[in-house]
């Protein structure tokens, strides 16, 4: 049982996911019968137990929207101004399936040459033209592929080739998606701009988006107002109280206090302050890896705990600070203590496959928080570029890397006042993984297969099997770990899903 492995007085070792393997149980249900619903915090339940990390190369509004639509939740990072972070939260809360609320706009003075560069960078072809080149300004027209083809002089300005607003089919603010669909079908147009009475652009609907399935049955929504749920990270400085107030005004549902070592007086005070001043907001405290740290934060009122220290793919904390814990040991031990108080935990970092998520849930986590696993998807901030050998890549960096800390994340490592910034993370690149809307279904299907093999039809069931010792694990030797991966081939190609 997990208790025998993690609390054996003879080994005193720390174990991580790869050190363990779950022994299979008995299957008497289908893979689709596995229910992955699980708790993110005391009051928030997810149908997909996956959370995107508050990192500046992972979660801003596009990622948080996609994660919530797929049944998980995204945590907007805090490496930006208070206003910018509140706006990112507001974007998620305002999201309505099928409506593009922040279409990229262009000014009428832009040249075709500049538009060509923008198209290449963003990969889409139709843009609204507004007087300031921004969203929310007066709509002047639309430029689509048809307007631009066959024009030789690429210095031509958009004002002379765009379809002007008088020739466009427009919808009025407040229209619903079904009516938009009707208008698009009748007019045979590709794009439908939505404007206010005075002609300011507020949204757009695109025929190609409507053709895609806009139904997300697993979406993480507020049952009352149907808005998507979103979380946001903050630090522990006194000024972060202003940040919390702004995030709450923007509609945030959960605040994550972002610190590599959560058991500090700064964090204790912050948890208590939020719970006193914003009692309806869920507070996720951390990070912790020991029962003692966890107990302190639970006593301050935390609604969930984030577990993991120095085990992320981009982390150097254990190397630099000699502190941390192997992740399976941390998750199991903290989850055991937190269960006594009915506080869910998030297994944060070190996850590189659906199998790791199965292990995290099997060791007591309510959900898995992932950085590198989700980095490189199209919803993450940043643009793709190509490596010399033709691979499509995106940047992924630790919040304790020098680059990220220069933008403000040094508070996560208590480094704000220090003259020398000591890196606790690195910057790197990851390969393109396509869209979250294809990737999360692959991960969840993988998790369901794992749960089925264990013989557990729900996260709740696997955790009660953990409790009563029915769930059996075995430690793996180094040779067993090698054997459990692909081996003995001259070469192979890994295709993750189809």
Query: Segment 203-262, which members bind ligand XMP (CB under 6 A)?
Result: 260
Nearer to ligand XMP, 361 or 373 (CB): 373
Comparing every residue's Cβ against ligand XMP, the nearest one is 425
Site string for ligand XMP, 141-180 (x = CB under 6 A): ----------------------------------------
C-beta of 227 vs 416, nearer to ligand XMP: 416
Residue 327 CA, chain-centre distance (Å), reads 20
Beta strand spans in 224-323 (E)? 231-234, 254-257, 282-288, 304-307
* Angle formed at CA 106 by CA 105 and CA 107, multiple of 5 degrees: 130
Eight-state DSSP code of residue 229? P
Pick 1 or 318: Cβ nearer ligand XMP? 318
Contact flag: residue 79 with ligand XMP (CB under 6 A): no
| Number of residues forming the site for ligand XMP (CB under 6 A) | 26
The H or E element containing residue 429 is strand 427-431
Single out the residue of 108, 133, 235, 371 in contact with ligand XMP (rule: CB under 6 A).
371
* Least distance in angstroms from the C-beta of 117 to ligand XMP: 32
Which residue of 349, 376, 450, 455 would you call a contact of ligand XMP, by CB under 6 A?
349
- Closer to ligand XMP by Cβ: residue 108 or 344: 344
Residue keyed to tokens 């593009």: 100
Please state the closest distance from residue 13 (CB atom) to ligand XMP, in A: 21
Length of the chain: 498
The span from the CA of 307 to the CA of 289, in Å, is: 6
Q: Which of 50, 55, 194, 331 binds ligand XMP (CB under 6 A)?
A: 55
Sole residue written with tokens 């603010």: 173
Q: Which of 39, 325, 395, 412 is catalytic?
A: 412
Shortest distance (Å) from residue 55 CB to ligand XMP = 6
Is 355 among the residues that bind ligand XMP (CB under 6 A)?
A: no
Does position 366 bind ligand XMP by CB under 6 A?
Answer: no
Q: Which is nearer to ligand XMP, 133 or 286 (CB)?
A: 286
Contact with ligand XMP (CB under 6 A) among 370, 440, 451, 466? 370
Residue 412 known to be catalytic: yes
Please identify, using beta-carbon distances, which residue of 220 and 287 lies nearer to ligand XMP: 287
Which residues does 441 contact at the CB level (< 8 Å), separation at least 6? 70
Classify 390 as helix, strand or coil: coil
Helix (H) or strand (E) holding 221: none
Distance CA 242, CA 323 (A): 31
Give the whole-angstrom CA distance, residue 194 versus residue 173: 6
315 is a contact residue toward ligand XMP (CB under 6 A): yes
**CA atoms of 329 and 265, how far apart (whole Å):** 25
Least distance CB 372 / ligand XMP (angstroms):
3
Coil, strand, or helix at residue 374? coil
CB 136 to ligand XMP: min, Å: 33
| DSSP-assigned letters across all residues of 13-25 | ----GGGEEEPP-
Please state the closest distance from residue 287 (CB atom) to ligand XMP, in A.
6
Nearer to ligand XMP, 191 or 412 (CB): 412
State which of residues 49, 398, 450, 455 lies at the interface with ligand XMP (CB under 6 A): 398
3-state secondary structure of 338: helix
Using CB under 6 A as the binding rule, whether residue 74 contacts ligand XMP is answered as: no
Q: Answer yes or no whether residue 400 interacts with ligand XMP by CB under 6 A.
A: yes
From the candidates 315, 370, 397, 448, give the one annotated as an active-site residue.
Answer: 315
Stretch that binds ligand XMP, among 103-111, 153-161, 348-356, 459-467 (CB under 6 A): 348-356
Cα separation, 341 vs 224, in Å, equals 28
127's CB contacts (< 8 A; 6+ apart) are: 103, 104, 105, 106, 115, 118, 142, 143
- Stretch 251-310 residues interacting with ligand XMP (CB under 6 A): 260, 287, 308, 310
Whether the CB-CB separation of 157 and 109 falls below 8 Å is answered with yes
Instruction: Kindly state the tokens that stand for 376.
Output: 């490189």
Q: 139 forms bridges with which residues in the sheet?
A: 130
List Cα–Cα distances, 271 to 43, 78, 284, 498, in angstroms. Answer: 16, 17, 9, 44
Of the pair 378, 457, the CB lying nearest ligand XMP is at 378
If binding is defined by CB under 6 A, does position 49 make contact with ligand XMP? no
Establish whether 315 is a catalytic residue. Answer: yes
- Supply the residues annotated as catalytic: 315, 412
Binding site residues, ligand XMP, CB under 6 A: 53, 55, 260, 287, 308, 310, 312-315, 317, 348-351, 369-373, 398-401, 424-425
């Amino acid at each position: 049982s997990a208790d025998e492995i993690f609390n054996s007085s003879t080994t005193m070792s720390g174990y991580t996911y790869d050190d363990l393997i779950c022994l299979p149980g008995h299957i008497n249900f289908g893979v689709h019968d596995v229910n992955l619903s699980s708790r993110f915090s005391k009051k928030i339940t997810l149908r997909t137990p996956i959370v995107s990390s508050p990192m500046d190369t992972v979660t801003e509004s596009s990622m948080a929207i996609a994660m919530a639509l797929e049944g998980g939740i995204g945590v907007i990072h805090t490496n930006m101004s208070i206003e910018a972070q509140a706006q990112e939260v507001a974007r998620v809360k305002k999201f309505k399936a099928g409506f593009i609320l922040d279409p990229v706009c262009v000014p009428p003075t832009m040249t075709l040459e500049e538009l060509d560069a923008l198209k290449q960078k963003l990969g889409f072809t139709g843009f609204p033209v507004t007087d300031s080149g921004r969203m929310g300004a007066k709509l002047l027209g639309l430029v689509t592929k048809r307007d631009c083809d066959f024009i030789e002089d690429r210095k031509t300005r958009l004002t002379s080739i765009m379809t002007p607003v008088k020739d466009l089919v427009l919808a009025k603010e407040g229209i619903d998606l079904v009516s938009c669909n009707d208008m698009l079908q009748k007019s045979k147009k590709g794009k439908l701009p939505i404007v206010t009475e005075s002609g300011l652009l507020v949204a757009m609907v695109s025929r190609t988006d409507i053709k895609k399935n806009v139904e997300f049955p697993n979406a993480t929504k507020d049952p009352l107002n149907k808005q998507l749920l979103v979380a946001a990270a903050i630090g522990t400085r006194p000024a972060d109280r202003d940040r919390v107030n702004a995030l709450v005004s923007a509609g945030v549902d959960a605040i994550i206090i972002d610190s590599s070592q959560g058991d500090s007086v700064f964090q204790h005070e912050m948890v208590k302050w939020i719970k006193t001043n914003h009692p309806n907001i869920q507070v996720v405290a951390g990070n912790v890896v020991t029962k003692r740290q966890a107990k302190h934060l639970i006593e301050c009122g935390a609604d969930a705990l984030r577990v993991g220290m120095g085990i992320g793919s981009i982390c150097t904390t254990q190397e630099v600070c000699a502190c941390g814990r192997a992740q399976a040991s941390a998750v199991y031990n903290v989850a055991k203590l937190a269960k006594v108080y009915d506080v869910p935990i998030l297994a944060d970092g070190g996850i590189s496959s659906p199998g790791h998520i199965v292990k995290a849930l099997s060791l007591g986590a309510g959900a898995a928080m992932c950085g590198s696993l989700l980095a490189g998807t199209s919803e993450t901030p940043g643009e793709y570029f190509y490596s010399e050998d033709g691979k499509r890549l995106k940047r992924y960096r630790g919040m304790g890397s020098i680059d990220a800390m220069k933008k403000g994340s040094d508070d996560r490592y208590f480094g704000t006042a220090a003259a020398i910034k000591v890196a606790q993370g690195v910057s790197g690149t990851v390969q393109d993984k396509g869209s979250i809307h294809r990737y999360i279904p692959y991960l969840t299907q993988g998790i369901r297969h794992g749960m089925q093999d264990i013989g557990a039809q729900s996260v709740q069931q696997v955790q009660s099997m953990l409790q009563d010792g029915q769930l059996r694990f075995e430690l793996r030797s180094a040779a067993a770990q090698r054997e459990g991966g692909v081996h003995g081939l001259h070469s192979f190609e890994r295709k993750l899903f189809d």
